[in-house]
Structure 1
Amino acid sequence: MTSSLQRMHRFTPALALLALLGGCASGPFQRGDGAPSGHVNVDAIPDAVPRHEPLSKYGNPPTYIVHGKSYTTLNSSQGFIERGIASWYGTKFHGRRTSSGETYNMYAMTAAHKTLPLPTYVEVTNLDNGRRVIVKVNDRGPFHDGRIIDLSYAAAIKLGINTHGTGRVEIRAIDPSRPQAHRLAQQRVQPTAPADAVKTAPDAASDQHLYLQVGAFNSRLNAENLRRRLAQMAGSPVHIFPGSDPTQPVYRVRIGPLASDQEAQQLASRLVHQGITNTSVVID
């Protein structure tokens, strides 16, 4: 990803907007990024408290382009739920400007997302250990393939994904007008177990599987052609997942289940040589 930290007076308004939309880092995958030195007591850091805020003036264009790929900003976060791989970002971007115009603080409970309106409050659940946090989405990213959200360093520690760099998560948008959203935020401040004491929560992800999605088609025939093409070279089963809306048919071609995010990324790298570049890691 690119950062949004160039000073505004160096750019025309249009170029400044593009710089802001460059968004955050891709967590520890960015050269020079990482964790701060010393211990961070995340027990003393409260979750974000959802509240009504005006939309960011610069962070919500209808569409924007990063690294040659176009993204469409959602008009609303109502009912938004997504599962996938989370990463985090830290020291390299601490103190720099986010896409919303706020300053990135790796010790605050914030996050970056490619399409949610800025700001949006979301509850993030680690599907492998059951931990949950509430964060404020105030930045754009991650623009590393296969990631759905970039968490602040503090949020990553509270979820227990800071050591491995990534983790399987579910994110749910919160409506600030609902009183229970505020109670969730207040009740979420709990002592956090040490990283080496994290256990897999019972049934937290027992029915969830990780796939590499390699295409989505309106035509079943096109999806079947890609499935047959990949069947001999993927090394893992290739499936077609039909959409649930009969009025708007969609057929998603996915490889898996896969054992880990790392396996998915290695497979995605191999597929690039076959001309398949628009892949994403999904949990279903």
Structure 2
Amino acid sequence: MNNNVKRLLPLAALLLAACSSQPGEPVKKDDSYDRETAGGRYALRKDMAPGEMPDMSHVKDAVPRFEPYSRQGNKDYNVWGQDYEVWRDVQNYKDEGMASWYGAKFHGYHTSNGEVYDMFTMTAAHKNLPLPSFVRVTNTENGKQVVVRVNDRGPFHDGRIIDLSYAAAWKLGMLGKGTAPVKVELIKVAPNKEDVRLANQGPGRHIQLLATRSGDKARELAARLSREYGFPARVEHQSDWYKLQMGPIPATQTDDLLARLIAEGYKQAYFLK
């Protein structure tokens, strides 16, 4: 069993549905209310009231762009005895079904793409789309739309077609129930000449920024640096140490980025071989 599948198994067990409440919105316990997972299982704190959930109105949609598919997270896999195929050359994709969301249980941990999950950004998980992909999600109950970047696998709950970050679920108005009927549409961006040139230069390089004995510190920094610099960040756990790494970084930007990181206080930053 490869590492991706090992990571997906506990993830699948937990990705049932996440829900708390939209700020100021009471939880409605109707027939579609998921009693197992609603009411704060994935809230930021167990004692957090619905009105305390962070406002995400300032968060902007993901901006569709060409990105080469990552090496990690794009292999066919098996969860709970079921095989899943990763679509390689999908050009058009539309689907309708139920969406759910996932939050603090996974915040700061690796996605299937090898990045660090940040529940406050516009991302999502899908069982089959190549990683990364960009999709437009429409809540068919209220007409609200978001654009998200797919960088994870799931949901593995029957009848659900996409798992959204907290920020995306907030903007779609679906936090109260934890699920919502949605339409999902792939946004395909063709590469320009510069994209092709950079892709032909290879996958890029990784930079290690620091090593610490605090996993929480490393994951918090990874999420923040990924937002600030726009490159995937990950935390590798070896023995008692948590190593914060960033990449892949295109060859045209590696030297400038390393110099910037060192100037901003990461004195031990270096290129990984």
Scaled by the length of structure 1, what TM-score is found? Answer: 0.54
Residue type of the alignment partner of 1:27: A
Task: Name which of 21, 31, 42 aligns with 1:34.
Answer: 42
Distance between the aligned counterparts of 1:92 and 1:30, measured in 2? 12
SS in 1 for 2:130: coil
Task: Name which of 137, 149, 158 aligns with 2:171.
Answer: 158
Task: Name which of 44, 51, 59 aligns with 2:65.
Answer: 51
Q: What is the alpha-carbon root mean square deviation over aligned residues? A: 2.1
Scaled by the length of structure 2, what TM-score is found? Answer: 0.56
Q: How does 1:105-116 map to 2 (within 5 A)?
A: 105-116=118-129
Q: How does 1:1-284 map to 2 (within 5 A)?
A: 15-22=2-9, 25-28=15-18, 33-36=41-44, 37=48, 38-61=52-75, 63-177=76-190
CA displacement at 1:178 relative to structure 2: 9.2
SS in 1 for 2:105: helix
Q: How many residues get paired?
A: 165
Contact 2:56 2:170 (C-alpha < 8 Å) held by counterparts: yes
SS in 1 for 2:2: helix
Distance between the aligned counterparts of 1:58 and 1:30, measured in 2? 30
After TM superposition, the runs of 4+ consecutive aligned structure 1 residues lying more than 3 A away are 20-24, 29-33
Structure 1: gaps (5+ residues) = 1-13, 180-284
CA displacement at 1:108 relative to structure 2: 0.5
CA displacement at 1:169 relative to structure 2: 0.2
Residue type of the alignment partner of 1:87: S
| CA shift in 2, pair 1:178/1:55, >3 Å | closer
Contact 2:98 2:162 (C-alpha < 8 Å) held by counterparts: yes
**Superimposed CA distance per residue, residues 34-89 of structure 1 (whole angstroms, 9 cap, x where no aligned partner):** 1224332211101101111121212011x211011111111133110010000000
